[in-house]
């Protein structure tokens, strides 16, 4: 008799699920289409996957699942509209200074997960995300216009900025044109000054992402692109971003310059403290670049200058001045940083703040 | 509250555990668990960022199932029908499938440490998913490749195991081949993680490997439901023969049960269920290992009851864990982490309480 019960129970369970799933055959969201939003005007943008995404003409609530992209939204004037984000203040403290409204935003994403329920309840007009097709498929089903973005190089960085601006409207588009022009100018200027350098005057540069484990950035990355533009060569003969390498390889590459990303700082140490430790380290202290004080700290602002973000525009000049002070004597990075933040991030920096950023330290 | 009831039930049965493990317990465990499952489903619909009264939930569900108009606000409709419903159905299906497959495998291989990924189903599915993500396939493509490679891995295990065992297909060679194939798969997964772009692909692969139900779409339920139900059939039909196999292959043959046929059908069924679960929810560990133990503590080792009870318990377990994932933090902890955090201590507790359940 137990077995009959088993069968009945399973049959019931099966039937219930079957009915539920059969109900899904109808187009999702077919029932109560609320009139509130559907009557408003919309526009269509094409995202990086080639998908045509229809977004409301007026965007008042934004969800952003791509850490570096939150700063793009702030630049395009909609930073205070971010209501759901992937950031927490600890990961991008400067961005929270620049865009204090982020403190009101809910953190519903992590690098790899999305809290779809909180996202749905935040009712965003648009979701910006890097290319995670799985999450995008779900959020699209939830009725959230999902714009997938991404870039690997400067031309695509500009496209990403323009696409975001197309979503956000005419004022944002103007700002995007201004930023893209600034990036083009910077690229042209920096490349122009270093173009005639012969190979033997291009220092080899090791960009260290992490010291322990030892991880560096190789060719085929935006890091390689700015090193080259600034008149250097990438010392790391590996392909791609964030590649683990051995100390032996580093010794063999024998870089002329070592650039430490803020992610390479040891625990709670500042950049300066990390450099001190490096000079005391048995391996690193033997490396000529470290021994002869050619190891430097990469600045970090609202987002890491050295990685995939809009402040890469500042990185280009900084790298040029760091590798070739004689060619970039007229460049004042303090002034450049302050004018960039004023013009593009709507947050004038004090000189002390800019100095802190250049030392890759968190806001005081 | 459902968790409490869950705890009460085993204690009640356990106190009166019969000396003869083949005797049925005095409690109608299947009925109790079925009711409990329905109650858990109902509660799961109600809890979350916003708590909904039963009336709203019923209205939304009826509206979608029957096409009746409803007056529920759009955001509530989306939350109940598009966020909670697919997760709840998927949790029930995945939890039930993994636990039933685990129970069947533990009976088939006469080994309590066996889980449904024994023969490489999860490992193969992991390779398929990681590869799909690496090659930038769409979400359906990733799921399909996970499912296909999950099946392929088990096929390889079975074929190689039979070849290595010189056609005799002993259980031991099969299990050992499964271990080899699984570690080969995890090496391949590590390789894809190594070559994946750490800013772009790696988080996706990691996400998939840790498991989660938040990306299960309404449309994605059908590719999960069909293999799970199809795979459940041989397990349910053949479950009494699993008892006979417990005496060993020769004894089973002398009792008129062909061990090869039973083994093949159970493996096919369990593999279908596991591969479908893993391709929909990622690698959700511990369910297939722990839940069958709990089931046997409730009803004893008789596979006729242990398999369905495992399925029901597994469904309840995963549903409760996913409710925690959904509600406790504003960001989600991957499901596989939580099942391990809950499952591992629970397994120790089971070990401490009742070795009797297996031996």
- pLDDT tens by residue, chain A, 364 residues: 445 555 555 555 555 555 544 544 444 444 444 444 444 699 999 999 999 999 999 999 999 999 999 999 999 999 999 999 999 999 999 999 999 999 999 999 988 889 999 999 999 999 999 867 788 999 999 999 999 999 999 999 999 999 999 999 999 999 999 999 999 999 999 999 999 999 999 999 999 999 999 999 999 999 999 999 999 999 999 999 899 999 999 999 999 999 999 999 987 889 999 999 999 999 999 999 999 999 999 999 999 999 999 999 999 999 999 999 999 999 999 999 999 999 999 999 999 999 999 999 999 8
> Residues near B324 by Cβ (< 8 Å), separated by ≥ 6?
B338
When computed from its CA atoms, the radius of gyration of chain B, rounded to whole angstroms, is: 21
- Looking at residue A4, its pLDDT comes to 56
Superfamily of domain B2-115+211-357: ABC transporter involved in vitamin B12 uptake, BtuC (1.10.3470.10)
Distance separating alpha carbons of residues A6 and B31, to the nearest angstrom? 8
ipTM of the complex in this document: 0.82
CATH code for the domain defined by A45-179: 3.40.50.1980
Which among B335, B280, B150, B89 is positioned nearest to A137, based on CA atoms?
A: B280
Please report residues of B whose CB lies closer than 8 A to that of A307. 199
When computed from its CA atoms, the radius of gyration of chain A, rounded to whole angstroms, is: 24
CB A308 within 8 A of CB B200: no
B294-306 mean pLDDT: 90
pLDDT in tens, B148-185: 999 999 999 989 988 887 766 577 888 889 999 999 99
A113-to-A116, A131, B217 alpha-carbon distances in Å: 9, 13, 15
| Chain B residue nearest residue A121, CA to CA | B75
The continuous run of DSSP H or E covering A208 comes out as: strand A204-210
Judged by CB atoms within 8 Å, which residues 205-224 of B form the interface with A? 206-208, 210, 212, 214-219, 221-222
Cα angle at B7 between B6 and B9, to 5 degrees? Answer: 70
Distance separating alpha carbons of residues B3 and A68, to the nearest angstrom? 41
> Are A107 and B197 a contacting pair at CB < 8 A?
no
> Are A112 and B30 a contacting pair at CB < 8 A?
no
- B5 and chain A: CB distance < 8 Å anywhere? no
What confidence category does residue B291 fall into, taking pLDDT thresholds of 50, 70 and 90? very high
Structure tokens at A169: 């409207």
Please report residues of B whose CB lies closer than 8 A to that of A130. 199-200
- Looking at residue A1, its pLDDT comes to 41
Which among A177, A178, A81, A159 is positioned nearest to A123, based on CA atoms?
A: A81
Among B35, B199, B239, the residue to mutate for chain A (most A Cβ within 10 A): B199
- Tell me how far the alpha carbon of residue B28 is from its chain's centroid: 23
Separation in Å, CA of A196 to nearest CA in chain B: 33
pLDDT in tens, B43-85: 999 999 899 999 999 999 999 999 888 899 999 999 999 999 9
Q: Report percent pLDDT > 70 for chain B.
A: 90
> Are A9 and B203 a contacting pair at CB < 8 A?
no
- Looking at residue A15, its pLDDT comes to 54
Distance separating alpha carbons of residues A270 and B25, to the nearest angstrom? 65
Structure tokens at A12: 């019931």
CATH code for the domain defined by A197-329: 3.40.50.1980
Place of tokens 């790391």: A236
Distance separating alpha carbons of residues A229 and A193, to the nearest angstrom? 9
Task: Please state the φ and ψ torsions of residue B210, each to the nearest 5 degrees.
Answer: -90, -15
- Looking at residue A83, its pLDDT comes to 97
The residues pairing with A219 across neighbouring beta strands, listed in sequence order, are A239
Please report residues of B whose CB lies closer than 8 A to that of A131. 136, 200
- B80 and chain A: CB distance < 8 Å anywhere? no
Please report residues of A whose CB lies closer than 8 A to that of B218. 24, 28, 141
**In chain A, domain spans:** 45-179, 197-329
> Residues near A21 by Cβ (< 8 Å), separated by ≥ 6?
B89, B221, B222, B225
> What is the 3-state composition of chain A as percent helix, strand, coil, each rounded to the nearest 5?
50, 15, 35
Q: Report percent pLDDT > 90 for chain B.
A: 53
B4-to-B201, B258, B296 alpha-carbon distances in Å: 41, 43, 19
Separation in Å, CA of B292 to nearest CA in chain A: 16
> Are A133 and B82 a contacting pair at CB < 8 A?
no
B195-202 mean pLDDT: 82
Among A115, A150, A160, the residue to mutate for chain B (most B Cβ within 10 A): A115
Please report residues of A whose CB lies closer than 8 A to that of B83. 116-117, 120, 142
> Are A123 and B75 a contacting pair at CB < 8 A?
yes
> Are A29 and B334 a contacting pair at CB < 8 A?
no
| Chain B residue nearest residue A4, CA to CA | B30
- Looking at residue A317, its pLDDT comes to 97
pLDDT in tens, B245-261: 877 778 888 888 888 88
Please report residues of A whose CB lies closer than 8 A to that of B129. none
Whether A45-179 and A197-329 share one fold: the answer is yes
CB B230 within 8 A of CB B272: yes
Distance separating alpha carbons of residues B164 and A48, to the nearest angstrom? 49
- Looking at residue B163, its pLDDT comes to 87
> Are A20 and B70 a contacting pair at CB < 8 A?
no
B142-to-B51, B55, B204, B271 alpha-carbon distances in Å: 34, 38, 11, 18
> Are B65 and A117 a contacting pair at CB < 8 A?
no
**In chain B, domain spans:** 2-115+211-357
Q: Over chain B, what is the mean pLDDT? A: 86
Distance separating alpha carbons of residues A20 and A18, to the nearest angstrom? 5
């Amino acid at each position: 008799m137990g077995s009959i019960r088993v069968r009945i129970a399973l049959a019931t369970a099966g039937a219930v699920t079957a009915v539920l799933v059969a109900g899904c055959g109808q187009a999702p969201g077919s029932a109560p289409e609320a009139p509130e939003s559907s009557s408003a005007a919309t526009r269509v943008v094409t995202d990086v996957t080639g998908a045509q995404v229809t977004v409301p003409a007026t965007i008042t609530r934004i969800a952003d699942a791509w850490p570096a992209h939150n700063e793009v939204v702030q630049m395009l004037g909609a930073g205070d509209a971010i209501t759901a984000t992937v950031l927490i203040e600890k990961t991008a403290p400067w961005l929270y200074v620049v865009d204090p409204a982020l403190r009101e935003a809910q953190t519903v994403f992590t690098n790899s997960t999305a809290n779809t329920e909180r996202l749905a309840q935040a009712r965003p007009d648009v979701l910006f995300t890097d290319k995670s097709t799985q999450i995008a498929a779900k959020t699209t089903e939830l009725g959230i216009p999902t714009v997938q973005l991404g870039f690997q190089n400067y031309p695509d960085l500009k496209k990403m900025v323009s696409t975001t601006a197309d979503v956000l409207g005419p004022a944002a588009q103007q700002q995007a044109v201004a930023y893209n022009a600034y990036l083009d100018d910077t690229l042209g200027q920096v490349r122009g000054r270093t173009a005639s350098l012969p190979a033997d005057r291009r220092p080899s540069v090791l960009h260290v992402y992490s010291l322990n484990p030892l991880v560096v950035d190789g060719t085929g990355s935006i890091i390689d692109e700015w090193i080259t533009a600034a008149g250097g060569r990438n010392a790391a003969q590996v392909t791609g971003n964030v590649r683990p390498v051995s100390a032996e390889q580093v010794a063999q590459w024998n870089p002329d310059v070592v650039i430490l990303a803020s992610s390479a700082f040891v625990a709670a140490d500042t950049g300066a403290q990390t450099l001190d430790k490096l000079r005391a380290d048995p391996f690193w202290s033997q490396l000529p670049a470290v021994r002869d004080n050619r190891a430097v700290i990469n600045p970090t602002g609202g987002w890491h200058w050295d990685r995939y973000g809009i402040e890469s525009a500042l990185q280009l000049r900084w790298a040029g001045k760091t590798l070739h002070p004689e060619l970039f004597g007229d460049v004042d990075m303090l002034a450049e940083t302050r004018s960039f933040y004023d013009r593009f991030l709507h947050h004038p920096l004090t000189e002390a703040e800019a100095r802190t950023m250049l030392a890759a330290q968190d806001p005081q | 509250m459902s968790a409490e009831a869950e705890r009460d039930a085993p204690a009640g049965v356990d106190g009166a555990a019969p000396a003869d493990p083949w005797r049925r317990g005095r409690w109608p465990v299947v009925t109790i668990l079925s009711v409990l499952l329905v109650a858990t489903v109902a509660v799961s619909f109600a809890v979350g960022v916003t708590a909904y009264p039963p009336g709203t939930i019923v209205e939304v569900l009826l509206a979608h199932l029957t096409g009746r108009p409803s007056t529920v606000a759009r955001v509530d409709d989306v939350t109940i029908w598009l966020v909670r419903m697919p997760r709840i159905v998927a949790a029930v299906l995945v939890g039930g499938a993994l636990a039933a497959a685990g129970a069947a495998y533990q009976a088939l291989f006469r080994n309590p440490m066996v889980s449904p990924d024994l023969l490489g189903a999860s490992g193969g599915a992991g390779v398929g998913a990681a590869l799909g993500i690496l090659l930038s396939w769409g979400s359906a493509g990733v799921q399909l490749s996970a499912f296909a490679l999950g099946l392929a891995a088990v096929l390889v295990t079975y074929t190689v195991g039979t070849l290595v065992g010189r056609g005799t297909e002993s259980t031991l060679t099969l299990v050992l081949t499964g271990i080899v194939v699984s570690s080969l798969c995890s090496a391949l997964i590590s390789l894809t993680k190594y070559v994946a772009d750490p800013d772009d692909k790696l988080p996706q692969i990691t996400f998939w490997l840790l498991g989660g139900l938040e990306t299960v779409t309404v449309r994605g339920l059908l590719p999960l439901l069909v293999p799970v139900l199809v795979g459940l059939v041989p397990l349910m039909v053949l479950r009494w023969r699993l008892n006979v196999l417990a005496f060993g292959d020769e004894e089973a043959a002398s009792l008129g049960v062909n061990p090869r046929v039973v083994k093949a059908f159970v493996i096919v069924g369990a593999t279908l269920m596991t591969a479908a679960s893993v391709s929909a929810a990622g690698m959700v560990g511990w369910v297939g290992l722990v839940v069958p133990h709990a089931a046997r503590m409730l009803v004893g080792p008789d596979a006729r009851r242990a398999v369905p009870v495992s399925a029901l318990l597994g469904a309840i377990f995963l549903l409760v864990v996913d409710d925690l994932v959904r509600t406790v933090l504003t960001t989600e902890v991957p499901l596989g982490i939580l099942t391990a955090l809950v499952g591992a201590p629970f397994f120790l507790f089971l070990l401490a309480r009742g070795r009797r359940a297996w031996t």
